[in-house]
C-alpha cells in the first residue's frame, strides 16, 4: 500500500470555478492484482469540455474526471509492460491502479515531444481533424472561419484548413495570440474579438462568405457567422465556451439556417475512432515537417491542476493547457 494524490471537486462552481471549489487530497493506492497495472501520471490534460461536467456528471469528493499520459510502473496485465507509455482517462490522480479499461498504448515517435500526444496528436487534434474534414465536410479551397483559433483545437483546425488550400479567418481574444495566428500560422485574417466588434469585422474579412464555420464559442460569434454562411454551408459544433458558465448571450440569427440550408452538427472526439489511423499518419508527418505548429501552457506540479482549469476558463492559456507531473 502506497499513497497517491488526487484533485477532487468539493463544491459545484458558480460561473468560472474558484480555487475553493477544489481540494488536493492524499489517498492510498493498493498493489495491482492479476490483470491490472499501476500507472504513474506524467502529463495531465486540461480541456474546455471539463467545465460543463463540473455542473452534473462530475461527482463531488472524487477525483476530477480527465485524461492524461502516464507510465506503467508495475504490470500484471498481459497487454502492458513496465515502462510502457499509456493514454488514460483515469482522472486527476498522481498514481493509480487500472484494469486496462480506458487505457491505450502511446507509440510515441521519438522525434515528437510526448506532450504533443495530448493535443495535436491527441484528442484535441483528432477533434479538429474529424470536426473539420468529416462533420464539416471541408473541400479544398473553401472559405473557413475558426473561432478561438489560437486554442488547442482551433489552432489545429485552422492549420489543417490552410494545408487544404482554404481562405482561413480566425478569432482570438488577445493581441499576442492574434499576432501568432497571422505571422506564424499564416491565417488570411485574424479578429481580436475583445478589441473589435465581431459582426462587422467578420463581414469585412469574409468577402466570399463562409463555407465552414468551426464553432468553439457560440453566442455573439455564432450570431456573427450565421449571416455570412454561404448556401449549403456547414457549422461543425465543437464547443460553445461562451455558454458553459451559463452566462452567454442568446443566439438570435438562427433563421439564417433556413434559406442558406445550413447544417449545424455537434460532435465529440470519440466519434472519430474510425479516422484515427489516417489521422495519426497525416498528423505525425505534418508535426515533424513543422506544418502544424502549436503552443503549450505548461504548469509544473500536480497540485496546480485547479489553477490550470481556472486559467483555461479565464482565457489565460496560450494553446494547450497542460499539467506536467513527472518526466
Binding site for its own copies (CB under 8 A): 52, 218, 222, 237-240, 243-244, 248-252, 254-268, 271
CB–CB of 154/148 below 8 Å? yes
Q: How far is the CB of 204 from its own copies (least distance, A)?
A: 20
Nearer to its own copies by Cβ, of 72 and 262: the residue is 262
Q: 115 or 216, CB closer to its own copies?
A: 216
253 versus 276: smaller Cβ distance to its own copies: 253
Shortest separation between residue 258's beta carbon and its own copies, angstroms: 4
Dihedral sign, CA of 149, 153, 158, 159?
A: positive
Largest CA-CA distance found in the chain, in angstroms, rounded: 64
Rounded least distance, CB 91 to its own copies, Å: 19
Residue with cell 487534434: 125
In the complex, the smallest distance separating the C-beta of residue 165 from its own copies, rounded to whole angstroms, is 26
Across the strands, what pairs with 24?
A: 7
Find how far residue 255's CA is from the centre of its chain: 29
Kindly tell me which of 134 and 196 has the beta carbon lying closer to its own copies: 134
Using alpha carbons only, what angle is made at residue 302 by residues 296 and 98, rounded to the nearest 5 degrees?
105
Ramachandran quadrant class, 181 (left: phi over 0; alpha: psi -120 to 50; beta: rest): alpha
Min dist CB 264 to its own copies, Å, is: 4
CA 245/CA 314 separation, integer angstroms: 11
The helix (run of H) or strand (run of E) holding residue 18 is none
Nearer to its own copies, 258 or 289 (CB): 258
CB of 173 to its own copies, least distance (A): 19
Name the nearest CA neighbour of 44 among 318, 298, 310: 298
Q: Which is nearer to its own copies, 100 or 266 (CB)?
A: 266
Amino acid at each position: 500500500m502506497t499513497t497517491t494524490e488526487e484533485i477532487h471537486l468539493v463544491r459545484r462552481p458558480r460561473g468560472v470555478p474558484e480555487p475553493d471549489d477544489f481540494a488536493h487530497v492524499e489517498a492510498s493506492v493498493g498493489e495491482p492484482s492479476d490483470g491490472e497495472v499501476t500507472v504513474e501520471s506524467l502529463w495531465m490534460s486540461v480541456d474546455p469540455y471539463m467545465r460543463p461536467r463540473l455542473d452534473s456528471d462530475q461527482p463531488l469528493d472524487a477525483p476530477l474526471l480527465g485524461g492524461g499520459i502516464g507510465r506503467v510502473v508495475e504490470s500484471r496485465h498481459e497487454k502492458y509492460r513496465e515502462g510502457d507509455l499509456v493514454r488514460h482517462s483515469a482522472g486527476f490522480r498522481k498514481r493509480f491502479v487500472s484494469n486496462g479499461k480506458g487505457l491505450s498504448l502511446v507509440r510515441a515517435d521519438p522525434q515528437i515531444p510526448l506532450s504533443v500526444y495530448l493535443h495535436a496528436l491527441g484528442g484535441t487534434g483528432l477533434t479538429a481533424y474529424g470536426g473539420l474534414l468529416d462533420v464539416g465536410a471541408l473541400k479544398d479551397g473553401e472559405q473557413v472561419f475558426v473561432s478561438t483559433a489560437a486554442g488547442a483545437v482551433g489552432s489545429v483546425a485552422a492549420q489543417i484548413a490552410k494545408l487544404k488550400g482554404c481562405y482561413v479567418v480566425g478569432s482570438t481574444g488577445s493581441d499576442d495570440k492574434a499576432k501568432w495566428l497571422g505571422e506564424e500560422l499564416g491565417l488570411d485574417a485574424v479578429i481580436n474579438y475583445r478589441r473589435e466588434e465581431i459582426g462587422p469585422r467578420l463581414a469585412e474579412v469574409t468577402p466570399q462568405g463562409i463555407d465552414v464555420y468551426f464553432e468553439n464559442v457560440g453566442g455573439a460569434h455564432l450570431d456573427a457567422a450565421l449571416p455570412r454562411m454561404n448556401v449549403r454551408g456547414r457549422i461543425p459544433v465543437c464547443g460553445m465556451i461562451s455558454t458553459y458558465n451559463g452566462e452567454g448571450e442568446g443566439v438570435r440569427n438562427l433563421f439564417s439556417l433556413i434559406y442558406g440550408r445550413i447544417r449545424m452538427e455537434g460532435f465529440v472526439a470519440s466519434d472519430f475512432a474510425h479516422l484515427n489511423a489516417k489521422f495519426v499518419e497525416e498528423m505525425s508527418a505534418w508535426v515533424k515537417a513543422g506544418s502544424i505548429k502549436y503552443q503549450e501552457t505548461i504548469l509544473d506540479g500536480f497540485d496546480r491542476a485547479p489553477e490550470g482549469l481556472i486559467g483555461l476558463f479565464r482565457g489565460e492559456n496560450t494553446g494547450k493547457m497542460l499539467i506536467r507531473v513527472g518526466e
